[in-house]
Chains A and B, each alone.
Chain A
Amino acid sequence: MLHTLIKNNLKLMLRSKWILVLMIGGPILIIAVLGSVFDDLMKSYEGLDEFMAGYRLEDESAFSPYMQEVKRAAEDNGVTFVEYESGDIEDIIAKNDCAVFIDFQAEAYIIYQIQEHETESHIAEYFLNGVSASMLGADGADLRLDVVQLDIIPNIESEDYYGIAYTIYFIWCSFVCLTAVITSERKGKANQKYKISLISNISLYLGKAIPCALMTVIGVGTSTLLSTYLFQIKWGNYPMTILILLLTVLASTVMGLFFCLLFRSLTYSICTSFMVTWVAGFVGGSFETYIYSTIDQSVKVLSPIYHATRALTEYSVQGHSEYTRSTIIYLTGLMVIFALLGIGMNKLRKEEEA
């Protein structure tokens, strides 16, 4: 009976035109738009090498006790800090090879951006954000900077980045597939028929979860193939990429199903799922790339979208990623937790309705 339920629920999803349009057309459209809009910005990374940052340090600056450690961490990231004790800052910039200049004042710093070195100033800003965060918990000269790995990846093209990011983002929108089945069930009394049949709670749960996952694979899979062909997206490390995408499908499906079971209203379910996905995408680099994002690293790592996007982006440009493990653990954890919560909620709802 589970087989027939899965088959027919999948048909309900496949016959919903707007779901097909959203799952297939949505990613392609957004990849095309964002890939084009951010093309120049992403290209500014190409050929980026080590650079020099000039700085001035006021005697009373809060940064003074930590300057040696700051310079060491910067050196590890390919940024050489050179001190200029006196002189007009604009003159220093004009006369020297500084890609960026930082004025460390008493309790703040100012980054002077040089027009042709916009990317370097972003990197300096990102780096100093990390320094400031580390300083908050440090005591005097005991500071040990943990900003030794900047989120810089070599030569990613905007189509590749947004191709990857929006494949992941739209997989997290898999909850929309469930609406075709849930709307149809609630329209009539199909739920009552299920209650008086021999089908178990687990089968009823799987009867929605499996077709939703399949529909997401069909929808986003088709859009991925098309966008890969149209925009020449480079994926890299296919087995790991496919594994992470499939885990994302499963995690997003059980999360969406949990919200549908948690709220009796489909509107609340969709709004909550969309909000959670949007926030995770915002933090995780779906809109602004995680490379440029000034969101604190400790916040970024909370987003499963960040882990998956970063792992797949790094596969694309360098074939491997240190985020593979955290991505797999995070997605598997979400999948197990939301599946258990969903099955529990399914049982609870059935008892409440009786």
Chain B
Amino acid sequence: MSETIIRTEGLTKKYDNRAVVDSLKLEIKKGEIFGLLGPNGAGKSTTINMLCSITKATAGSIEIFGVNAAKHKRKILPRIGYIPQELAIHDRLKAWENVELFTSLYGVKGKALKKAVDESLEYVGLTDSRSQYAGNFSGGMKRRLNIACAIGHQPDLLIFDEPTVGIDPQSRNFILKKIKESNQAGATVLYTSHYMEEIETICTRIAIMDNGRIIASGTKEELKNLISDDPCKDISLEEIFLTLTGKSLRDYAGL
């Protein structure tokens, strides 16, 4: 049985008594690319923020790499690579300086830091642009740099919060290919996106989230079975998503 990388129990976040994330139960195994899918305001980013210790949970527990995340932050954080939805880079720093800065925050220094910078830039295909200012980059290049800044310390768990927003198809394909490569190299991936085809392409398991709750989870086949009894019928993830977050949710909310 493979190791559990992330486990949450009753995870809740309330703002002004309104639950943005409500009693969330989540389990992600080692080696998975786990897709978290949901409409705007579903609670995906808040969930990720709690997993990364950016936001404190109102209730519930988070275990990452088998230890309590709240109590062992310094043990867990160096093993997580977080790629935020917004670009976390400095426009007035060169590409290599950005990677150096964010990688150094995990205690990487000296020759190891230099090597990590070179490898990260090579990984995202920005070696030739290493001495250019990030502010001069295109949207796709900035997104790739954003990823390079998060992987320099060689994390075991990569958390992507909508990493392909607003970029061209070439850059998107490149990023997806790299996520798969990282996964094949041993990293566990938690991936959120609005783009169904991305989730469908790369994720091994998917959870659909709405109103702060997981309303369905499993492989694409398992999700398909939730809405159709016909195994031969070709149903897209988008259809599953719309069915579950539309009718099913209203049914749930009406209970």
**Chain A residues in the interface with B (C-beta under 8 A):** 1, 4-5, 8, 11-12, 15-16, 180, 184-185, 187-190, 192-199, 353-354
Flag whether B90 is at the interface (Cβ < 8 A). yes
Contacts of A198 in B (CB 8 A): 74, 77-78, 105-107
Flag whether B101 is at the interface (Cβ < 8 A). yes
Contacts of A4 in B (CB 8 A): 100-101, 104, 109, 113
Contacts of B115 in A (CB 8 A): none
- Per DSSP, are chain B's interface residues mostly helix, strand or loop, or mixed? loop
Tell which of A184, A188, A193 touches B105, judged by Cβ atoms closer than 8 Å: A193
- Per DSSP, are chain A's interface residues mostly helix, strand or loop, or mixed? helix
**B103-147 contact mask (Cβ, 8 Å, vs A): 1 or 0:** 011110100010000000000000000000000000000000000
Q: A184 CA to B97 CA in the complex, in Å? A: 14
Which chain A residue shows the least CB distance to B82? A196
Which chain B residue shows the least CB distance to A2? B104
Flag whether B198 is at the interface (Cβ < 8 A). no
Q: Known: A193-B88, A194-B105. Is A354-B93 also a contact (CB below 8 A)?
A: no
Count: A-B pairs, CB below 8 Å: 83
Closest CB in chain B relative to A176 CB, distance in Å: 15
Contacts of A189 in B (CB 8 A): 84-88
Contacts of B109 in A (CB 8 A): 1, 4
Asked if B80 and A184 make an inter-chain contact with CB atoms under 8 angstroms apart, the answer reads: no
Tell which of B88, B107, B150 touches A1, judged by Cβ atoms closer than 8 Å: B107
**B176-214 contact mask (Cβ, 8 Å, vs A): 1 or 0:** 000000000000000000000000000000000000000
A-B contact pairs, 8 of them (CB 8 A): A1-B104, A8-B97, A189-B87, A190-B89, A193-B150, A197-B106, A354-B54, A354-B56
Which chain B residue shows the least CB distance to A15? B92
Closest CB in chain B relative to A11 CB, distance in Å: 6
Q: A198 CA to B104 CA in the complex, in Å? A: 9
Which chain A residue shows the least CB distance to B56? A354
Contacts of B80 in A (CB 8 A): 196
Q: A16 CA to B105 CA in the complex, in Å? A: 24
Asked if A196 and B77 make an inter-chain contact with CB atoms under 8 angstroms apart, the answer reads: yes
Asked if B90 and A190 make an inter-chain contact with CB atoms under 8 angstroms apart, the answer reads: yes
Contacts of B78 in A (CB 8 A): 198
Which chain A residue shows the least CB distance to B85? A189
Which chain B residue shows the least CB distance to A354? B56
Asked if A193 and B104 make an inter-chain contact with CB atoms under 8 angstroms apart, the answer reads: no
Give chain B's interface residue range (CB within 8 Å of chain A).
20 to 34
Contacts of B54 in A (CB 8 A): 192, 195-196, 353-354
Contacts of A11 in B (CB 8 A): 92-93, 97
List B52-90 residues whose CB lies under 8 Å from chain A. 52-56, 74, 77-78, 80, 82, 84-90
Contacts of A5 in B (CB 8 A): 101, 104-105
Tell which of B77, B101, B150 touches A8, judged by Cβ atoms closer than 8 Å: B101
Flag whether B34 is at the interface (Cβ < 8 A). no
**Chain B residues in the interface with A (C-beta under 8 A):** 49, 52-56, 74, 77-78, 80, 82, 84-93, 97, 100-102, 104-107, 109, 113, 149-150
Closest CB in chain B relative to A193 CB, distance in Å: 5
Asked if A8 and B107 make an inter-chain contact with CB atoms under 8 angstroms apart, the answer reads: no
Q: Which 3 A-B pairs have the closest CB atoms?
A: A197-B105, A4-B104, A189-B88
Tell which of A12, A187, A190, A197 touches B77, judged by Cβ atoms closer than 8 Å: A197
Q: Known: A8-B97, A12-B93, A184-B91. Is A192-B105 also a contact (CB below 8 A)?
A: no
Q: A182 CA to B148 CA in the complex, in Å? A: 22
Q: A353 CA to B55 CA in the complex, in Å? A: 7
Q: Known: A11-B92, A197-B77, A197-B105. Is A188-B100 also a contact (CB below 8 A)?
A: no
Closest CB in chain B relative to A109 CB, distance in Å: 60
Contacts of A180 in B (CB 8 A): 92
Q: Known: A1-B105, A187-B91, A197-B106. Is A192-B74 also a contact (CB below 8 A)?
A: no
Tell which of A8, A190, A354 touches B55, judged by Cβ atoms closer than 8 Å: A354
Closest CB in chain B relative to A92 CB, distance in Å: 70
Asked if A12 and B90 make an inter-chain contact with CB atoms under 8 angstroms apart, the answer reads: yes
Which chain A residue shows the least CB distance to B57? A354
Q: Known: A16-B92, A187-B91. Is A196-B107 also a contact (CB below 8 A)?
A: no
Additional pairs, 8, CB under 8 Å, beyond known A4-B109, A185-B90, A192-B54: A8-B97, A11-B97, A180-B92, A190-B88, A192-B82, A193-B88, A195-B53, A354-B53
Q: A185 CA to B52 CA in the complex, in Å? A: 19
Which chain B residue shows the least CB distance to A180? B92
Q: A192 CA to B49 CA in the complex, in Å? A: 9
Q: A4 CA to B85 CA in the complex, in Å? A: 25
Q: Known: A1-B107, A197-B105, A198-B106. Is A192-B88 also a contact (CB below 8 A)?
A: yes
Which chain A residue shows the least CB distance to B51? A196
Contacts of B87 in A (CB 8 A): 188-189
Q: Known: A1-B104, A198-B74, A198-B77. Is A192-B90 also a contact (CB below 8 A)?
A: no
